[in-house]
Amino acid sequence: MKNYVKNIVRKARESSYAFSGIGAKQKNKVLLKMAKYLILNKDFILRENKKDVEKALKAKLKNSFIDRLALNEKRLKEMSVSLKEVARLKDPIGTIISQWKRPNGLNIKKVRVPIGVVLVVYEARPSVTSDCAGLLFKTSNAGILRGGKDSINSNIAIAKILEKAVRDCGIKFNPFFMVEDTSHGVVDSLLKEDKYIDVVIPRGGEALIRKTVQNSRIPVIKHYKGVCHIYVDKQADLNKALKICVNAKTQRPSVCNAVETILAHEDSAVKFFPALKTEFDKHGVEVRADAKAAKIMKGVHPVRGQLRGIRPGRIASNGVKKAAESDWAAEYLDLIVAVKVVKDIDEAISHINRYGSRHTDAIITENSASADKFVKEVDSACCFVNISTRFSDGYQFGLGAEIGISTDKLHARGPMGLEELTTYKWVVTGNGQIRK
């Protein structure tokens, strides 16, 4: 195992230097070839993915996990489109961030450069393989990709197709390395290779990320979990709020930008929570409520005149559970949501800053002052106004794709795209100056 790891990290370091001979035009050509090959080889990729899915089903893994694992033609197309988007974006490498001239004639430049060698440790989602390979290639970073054992067939298949695209474009070195050994010992060994690896990006559950941080000698960019909130303000458009909250919870509940807690101002809650419960019942969402929210949802609340499109009648009492203290900090990644009544926006902000994970939080309001207060005072990487938390995504931001989401505050925060995969160097030129 030791020789296996050493071989990968040394080759990755060599590849990081070889990137200096590859220009933006050639990198874009490779990315478009990658995108094309994913579609041309879809049958092979889906066949290999089916092996992983069948194994997961046999092991009776959670539905949310299998959802992240499974590929289909639609998801493959999305992976292909993502690579095309990355190709269209401006190459950040070589960009002059700032420059100035000193009185002594020195020309100072701050220039964007690759980080070098990036290790990505991830779990079930095979699309991470192509997203990371594409973003790292565009930014001239050598990548070491270590996916989970449950997606190993899918990851190897995708990597083979992408590697073929690289070779067919005349690139003589390997820009990324798929770690095919899925034993835990390999990751532990990689995390000690600080001589060769410059940064680690873990993508997966909280347990994986915490273990990576604890064992790594290398800087780690990460987020532990996505406890995302939506606050429905006193002056919210409740029809808009209903649509957004249902989308944020049910569109894809197994991902880190799905909403986990919904807060509502006490004036809005009386009308909003019964309608929300009705909609959540249709989607099979389990609701865990504080005492006030539970009372509102279980009572008799005529809906006529409150929200358009909702028929009047009794709100079903089944499905509302009493929220425990642990629910406010829970990342369910499932069709479960916590709801709470708050007296005002200050209580909502206080709740979010106490229990949230600094990932993504949203306010639904028609009051611009409330919106401004929320985005200034909520301590999160992404603060949204009147949109679903599901938009917290590099592709949705126009970054082409994302290599991860960071809730750290140094170097990168939020969805990480091309610029977040660069650092900078100082380039200083003169004409024989010496320091006196």
Q: What's the pLDDT at 404? A: 85
Q: What's the pLDDT at 402? A: 84
Structure tokens at 166: 């690289």
pLDDT at 317 over 70: no
Return d(Cα 60, Cα 62) in angstroms, integer: 7
- Quote the strand ranges of 197-346, DSSP E: 199-203, 228-232, 259-265, 286-289, 320-322, 336-342
Q: What's the pLDDT at 224? A: 87
Return d(Cα 327, Cα 336) in angstroms, integer: 10
Return d(Cα 433, Cα 436) in angstroms, integer: 9
Nearest CA among 317, 319, 318 for reference residue 300: 317
Report pLDDT digits (tens) over 125-134: 899 999 999 9
Q: Which helix (H) or strand (E) holds 183?
A: none
pLDDT at 146 over 90: yes
Report pLDDT digits (tens) over 359-380: 999 999 999 999 999 999 999 9
Average pLDDT, the chain: 93
Cα radius of gyration (the chain): 24
Q: What's the pLDDT at 6? A: 96
Range from 62-66, 194-198, 407-411, 412-416 that averages highest in pLDDT: 194-198
Start-end of CATH 3.40.605.10 domains in the chain:
2-223+397-429
pLDDT at 83 over 70: yes
Report pLDDT digits (tens) over 319-366: 699 999 999 999 999 999 999 999 999 999 999 999 999 999 999 999
In the Cβ-directed half-sphere of 221, how many Cα atoms lie within 13 Å?
25
Return d(Cα 413, Cα 202) in angstroms, integer: 14
Q: What's the pLDDT at 184? A: 84
Return d(Cα 236, Cα 2) in angstroms, integer: 58
Determine whether domain 2-223+397-429 maps to CATH 2.30.30.180.
no
Start-end of CATH 3.40.309.10 domains in the chain:
228-380
Bridge partner list, 429 = 107
Return d(Cα 71, Cα 42) in angstroms, integer: 10
φ and ψ of 404, to 5 deg: 165, 180
Q: What's the pLDDT at 254? A: 86
**Residue 143: pLDDT band with limits 50, 70, 90:** very high
**Residue 2: pLDDT band with limits 50, 70, 90:** confident
Report pLDDT digits (tens) over 163-188: 999 999 999 999 999 999 988 899 99
Alpha helix segments (H runs only) across 59-173: 63-69, 73-88, 127-138, 152-168
**Residue 314: pLDDT band with limits 50, 70, 90:** very low
Structure tokens at 69: 């694992």
Question: What pTM did the predictor assign?
Answer: 0.84
Q: What's the pLDDT at 238? A: 97
Q: What's the pLDDT at 299? A: 58
Q: What's the pLDDT at 307? A: 52
Return d(Cα 289, Cα 277) in angstroms, integer: 11
Bridge partner list, 111 = 96, 425
Percent of the chain, pLDDT > 90?
Answer: 85
Q: Looking at per-residue confidence, does 238 or 311 come out higher?
A: 238
Q: How many residues does the chain have?
A: 436
Bridge partner list, 99 = 109
Determine whether domain 228-380 maps to CATH 3.50.50.60.
no
Bridge partner list, 127 = none
Long-range contact pairs involving 57-60 (C-beta distance under 8 Å, separation at least 24): none
CB 201, CB 185: distance < 8 Å: no
Structure tokens at 2: 């030791």
